[in-house]
Chains A and B, each alone.
Chain A
Amino acid sequence: MSKVETNCYYTKTHEWIRLNGDTVEMGITDHAQDLLGDIVYLELPAEGDSVTKGKPLGVVESVKTLSDLYSPISGEVLETNDAVAGAPEMVNADAFGDGWLVRIKPSSLDADLKSLLSASDYQAHCDSEEH
Chain B
Amino acid sequence: MSQDCKKLVLHDKHASLGARFAPFAGFEMPMHYTGIKDEHACVREKVGIFDVSHMGAFYLEGADAVRAIDHIVSNDISSLPMGKAAYTVMCVEAGGIVDDLIVYKLADNKVLAIVNASRAAVDFEHMNKHLAGKVKLTNRSDDFVMLAVQGPSAEAVVNPLVVAELKDLVYYGAVETKLVSGVAVTVARTGYTGEDGFEILIPNAQASTFYDQLMEAGRAYGIQPIGLGARDTLRLEAKLPLYGHELSLDINPLEAGLHWVVKLGKEVPFVGQDALVDLKGAGLKRRLRGVIMRERGVLRPDYPLFAGAEQVGVLCSGGPSPTLGYSIGIAYIAIAHADDKDGVEVEIRGKRSPVELTTKPFYKRG
Contacts and interface: CB of A to CB of B under 8 A. Distances in A.
Interface of A: 37-38, 40-41, 43, 59, 61, 63-64, 66
A61 B229 contact: no
B300 A63 contact: no
A37 B320 contact: no
A37 B349 contact: no
Given A63-B229, A64-B32, A64-B36, 17 more contacts: A37-B32, A37-B36, A38-B35, A38-B36, A38-B37, A41-B296, A41-B298, A43-B297, A61-B297, A61-B320, A63-B36, A63-B37, A63-B319, A64-B31, A64-B229, A64-B319, A66-B300
Top 8 A-B pairs, shortest CB-CB distance:
A63-B36, A38-B37, A61-B298, A40-B320, A64-B229, A41-B298, A38-B35, A63-B320
B322 A63 contact: yes
A22 to B, nearest CB: 32
Contacts, number: 34
A40 B229 CA distance: 15
Interface of B: 31-32, 35-37, 229, 232-233, 296-298, 300, 319-320, 322, 349
Nearest to B297: A41
Contacts of A43: 297, 349
Contacts of A59: 349
Contacts of A41: 296-298, 320
19 contacts: A37-B35, A37-B36, A38-B36, A40-B298, A40-B320, A41-B296, A43-B297, A43-B349, A59-B349, A61-B298, A61-B320, A63-B37, A63-B233, A63-B322, A64-B31, A64-B36, A64-B229, A64-B232, A66-B300
A32 B297 CA distance: 20
Contacts of B320: 40-41, 61, 63
A59 B296 CA distance: 13
Nearest to A131: B1
A37 B233 CA distance: 14
The secondary structure that dominates the B interface is: mixed
Contacts of A38: 35-37
Contacts of B35: 37-38
A66 B32 contact: no
B326 to A, nearest CB: 10
Contacts of B300: 66
B267 to A, nearest CB: 45
A41 B293 CA distance: 13
Nearest to B349: A59
A1 to B, nearest CB: 14
A117 B298 CA distance: 32
A40 B293 CA distance: 14
A59 B319 CA distance: 15
A45 to B, nearest CB: 13
Nearest to B228: A64
Nearest to B37: A38
Contacts of A63: 36-37, 229, 233, 319-320, 322
A123 B9 CA distance: 34
Nearest to A56: B349
Contacts of B32: 37, 64
A63 B319 CA distance: 7
Nearest to A85: B296
A48 B260 CA distance: 55
A41 B232 CA distance: 19
A127 B37 CA distance: 27
Nearest to B322: A63
B298 A37 contact: no
A99 to B, nearest CB: 16
A66 B36 contact: no
B296 A37 contact: no
Contacts of B319: 63-64
B328 to A, nearest CB: 12
